[in-house]
Amino acid sequence: MSLQPGQPAPQFTLSSTELKSISLADYKGKKVILHFFPLAFTGVCTAQLCTMRDNFGYYDGLNAVILGISVDSPFTLAKFKEENGYQFELLSDFNKEVSTAYGAIYDAFFGMKGIAKRSAFVIDEAQNIVYAEVLEDAANLPDFAAIEAAVK
């Protein structure tokens, strides 16, 4: 079952591409946009994160941060971030705990177990969920207009 608006956001600590521990609690007092994506270097995942990269300036002045999360290793995510020029953190949920806590994980994805579902969550300054979208079809992109509206 995925999370719904009004619920507290599950807390987490994950490794960044620089192998630093990043916690959701680090961003208390800010809005957080979480983008879960299945796998780095795939077409739709790249489109999802490039959309956020290209609209990054929209979030200036809105007290908001973007975090991308996948089950890829931090090393894979570091290369993905470098090649695409992402200005936001990519976090490794290699152990699949955060994807599971957010109800954003496939039991099976092209024969692989435990791959993050394409999802978007907006978390408010008090760390409650104000927007939640978990997509069953990985070919679809999140509703970026609804994400922007939730951040305003």
Question: Which residues form the catalytic set?
Answer: 45
Place of tokens 């300036």: 57
Residue 75: what residue type?
A: F
Q: Which long-range contacts (CB under 8 A, 24 or more apart) does 106-112 make?
A: 106/38, 109/38, 109/138
The DSSP letter of residue 57 is: G
Q: Judge contact between 39 and 77, C-beta under 8 A.
A: no
Q: Judge contact between 84 and 53, C-beta under 8 A.
A: yes
Determine whether 81 is exposed, middle or buried from the number of CB atoms within 10 Å of its CB (0-12, 13-18, 19+).
Answer: buried
